[in-house]
Each structure stands twice: as structure tokens, then as C-alpha cells.
Amino acid sequence: MPANIGAMGTEKESRGEELKQFILSRIEEKGAIPFSQFMEWCLYHPQYGYYQSQDLRIGKDGDYYTGPCVHPLFGGMVAKQLSQMAEILGEENFDIVEMGGGRGFLCQDILNWSQKNRPHFYRCLKYHLIEMSSSFLKEQKERLSNFEKEGKVFWMNPETFEEGKKQVTGCFLSNELVDAFPVHQVVFDHGRLKEIYVTQHNGQLKEVMDEPSDPALLSHFESMDIRLQEGQRAEVNLRALNWMEKVGRFLEKGFVLTVDYGYLAEELYAPHRRSGTLLCYYRHQTSENPYERLGEQDITSHVNFTGLIKKGEEVGLHFTGLVSQYRFLIALGILQEMEFLGQDLSDLDGLKLRLSLINLIEPEAGMGEMFKVLIQHKGIGEPLLDGLRDLNSIPWPTPSPPPYFPSGQRGDDVDRRGHR
């Protein structure tokens, strides 16, 4: 083993142990903590958290894939929808605000596609990134430096969003953001809702059940007419509802486009899902144990889209539509674009391209069905968006010229993140 790899492994173990000791010390000081606090520290601790690590986390050499890592065509289709949103708004300026932009691929692909295919849209747009991870922030600034010089890309202080210091007209965009918010875990035990807490025994982390730490956990299920089965475990993402409220204040007029994996509440909390949906990701392998590899594995849970829709309505974000990712991409013309991209390739390269892209739209094994696209609107009438069209009503015209993607294919052997 090369010396640097061994040193890297030792450093990871050290960070994980230091995070564990930090958590144990807080438990010793404060007592048992809600699982949501444990998850918060594992992912977002400013020194030891997963998203503060300098290691590569997304892509072939990381822990999981996202849509933009598969191929730039994903971002191209999102850009196509954004350009229609700008037409509907009819404003001279269109702000795109992406929160949790990861490595910056989605931003790069949206701008590349728009510059080549919708020059008028490109001229009127400004792209703002809100990023909490110092590692991702550094990579974003390197990848998007040319667009920054051109005055197209800006970085917004997270406090500006959190404190509602600014309002924008355009679209608030996120891709696999909400699934990484810390969640409360609950269990329906002997006819009552109990919350999962994390404590310690002989220096090891362990779970215990106790009364809910927040009354909102009880009202959460009542508001959606959901009753868990005896012994059923589930996640409640109160942070997502708080985030949705802030998005509603932040957006003056326009759209919210949320891409993530999850279900409506009736399916998310169905009786057959007795163990909830919490999953951990490490080097493209899944685990149900969040108490190992502290700070070195991603921890996620499926999104409750019913909660986002209901909270959105409360803060003036009206429901536009919710569709599976494959329907969204096909409605926007991804099949035609795939055909064009493969025209000048060899048979082998064309096959690789199709196998890579099929992960974005394959309903059963790929990202196509599990991932959903939620769109909400504010300050406008009832918009009709191409990405929400009924597939049976779509005319199949002669495709337009192929999109411009200088970076080429990204994904090989894409994993099935989100399946549970």
C-alpha cells in the first residue's frame, strides 16, 4: 500500500474517532440526544462532518452518483425547462438560485446548454449558488471560474437565505438536497408515538426510545391523516418544512424546482415500510447502520413530498405538478437528444452512452421512477410546463440540433441510489 493511501486511511479513522468522542462528550454533558442532532453532527459538524471532508464524495470515485454526474444531458433538460419558466415570467432578468450544488456540474451544464441553445435566456439569467460545504465550494469556484468572470455565476452567503435578507424572481432549484437534511426518527410503540434518541453505554453509542422532543412530530402525522402500525419506524423531516417556509419567503415571484427521491406521505409511511427509509452510502455501497464510519458516510432518508406541498401552500408556493424523473425528462425531449448524441459515435461508444443515460429514465432499476420532480409556483397564474406534460399527449417532432456538452459523458456503472 502506498504511504499516502495509508496516511489517508489513518486520517479518516482519526476524524471518525474524534467525531465520536465529540458526540459522547455532548451526551455526557446534556444526556441523550434526538437522532436528528446525531445526524446533524455526522453530516454537518464544521470540523468532522461528512460534508466538510476534503475527500471526493460524488461520482464514480465517491460514495454515490447524482443525475448531473451521469451525463450533462440531465442539466440540459433542466435548462430547457428553466428557459420556458423565464418565458412565462416575461421578466428582463431571471435568477436561478441553486442550493446544495455539489461539485457544480448542474450549474455548468445548465449554463452551457443555455449559452448554445437559448442565447436570449442565457443573456437574462444570473446563477446564484448557496453552498455549505467548503470542499464543494472550492470545486465549484474552480469549475465555474469562466462563468464567474463573465458575470453569470455568483455565490450567496447561506445567511442571506436563512435570514431572508433577499428576494428573487426566477427559480429556486435543488437536486438531492432535501434527502440529506437531518431527520427525527420515531417508532409507534404500544399505541403511542415515541422518538429515537442516541445515548451511550460503556463508551458505545446506542439507541433508546422516549417521548417526542418536539410536539410537531405528533401533529405531523395527524395533519396528513397517517397512522403508523405498531412497531413501525419512520423518519420525520421537520428541517425540510422549515426550509420550504424559507424558500417561500425568499422567492418573490417564479418557481421552485425540487429533484429528489421519495414518495407522497401515503406511500412513504405505508405499513410495509416498517423500518423507515434511512440509508447510509459509502463507496457506492448501502448500509442501514448510521453508527459506523462516523463522518465518513452519507446518511439520507426519502423525501415526504406531501409535506413539501402542504407547507408550500401555506407560504404562497402553489402546487404546479409532481412527476417521476423519467416522465419529466422524456417530456422535455431527452430521447430525441440521446438519438442525436449517438449519431456520430461508434457502436460501442453509442451503447455506452445509452446504458449511461438509461439510468436517468429507467423506471424499475434506475433513477427514473424513484426520483421525483416537484414544481411549485408563486405570483403567477396556472403555468403549463413542458416537463409536466402527459406523455401520451406529446408530439414527437423532428429533434432540434444536438446540445452542446463539451465535457462529454461522466457516468459509468451508475449505482441505484435511493432505492428502498
Alpha carbons 267 and 269: distance in angstroms, whole number: 5
Per-residue confidence (pLDDT) for residue 51, from 0 to 100: 87
Distance CA 119, CA 339 (A): 23
Residues 6+ apart with CB under 8 A from 314: 245, 248
Computed over every residue of the chain, the mean pLDDT equals 86
More confident residue, 189 or 352: 189
> What pLDDT is attached to residue 164?
82
Q: What is the pTM of this model?
A: 0.86
What is the distance between the alpha carbons of residues 236 and 187, in angstroms, rounded to a whole number?
11
Give the pLDDT score at 17: 93
Least confident of 251-260, 301-310, 365-374: 365-374
- Hey, which of 2-6, 378-382, 392-396 has the most confident mean pLDDT? 378-382
What average pLDDT does range 112-135 have in this prediction? 95
Instruction: Assess contact for 233 and 187: CB atoms under 8 A.
Output: yes
**Mean pLDDT of the 165-181 span:** 94
- What's the confidence (pLDDT) of residue 413? 37
pLDDT confidence of residue 354: 66
Indicate the domain borders of the chain. Answer: 67-182+238-393
Q: How far apart are CA 359 and CA 388, in angstroms?
A: 20
Query: In the predicted model, is pLDDT for residue 14 greater than 90?
Result: no
Evaluate if residue 362 carries a pLDDT over 80: no
DSSP designation for 194 = E
Provide the 3-class DSSP secondary structure of residue 250: helix
Beta carbons within 10 angstroms of residue 402's beta carbon: 19
Task: Check whether 352 has a pLDDT greater than 90.
Answer: no
**HSE (CB half, 13 Å, CA atoms) of 344?**
4
Alpha carbon 49 to its chain's center: 18
pLDDT tens per residue across span 73-82:
899 999 999 9
Under 8 Å CB-to-CB from 274, ≥6 apart: which residues?
229, 231, 232, 233
Give the pLDDT confidence score for residue 366 in this predicted structure.
54
pLDDT confidence bin for 367, thresholds 50/70/90 = low
- Range name among 57-71, 116-130, 205-219 with the lowest pLDDT average: 57-71
- Alpha helical stretches, state H, 289-394: 305-314, 325-331, 334-341, 347-361
Q: How far is CA 75 from CA 105, 111, 257, 311, 416, in A?
A: 8, 9, 13, 27, 19
What integer is the mean pLDDT of 334-358? Answer: 71
The CATH number for 67-182+238-393, chosen from 3.40.50.12710, 3.20.10.10, 3.40.50.1970, 1.20.1600.10, is 3.40.50.12710
CB atoms inside a 10 Å sphere around CB 218: 15
Whether the CB-CB separation of 143 and 61 falls below 8 Å is answered with no
Once rounded to an integer, what is the mean pLDDT over residues 322-338?
90
In this prediction, residue 353 carries a pLDDT of 66
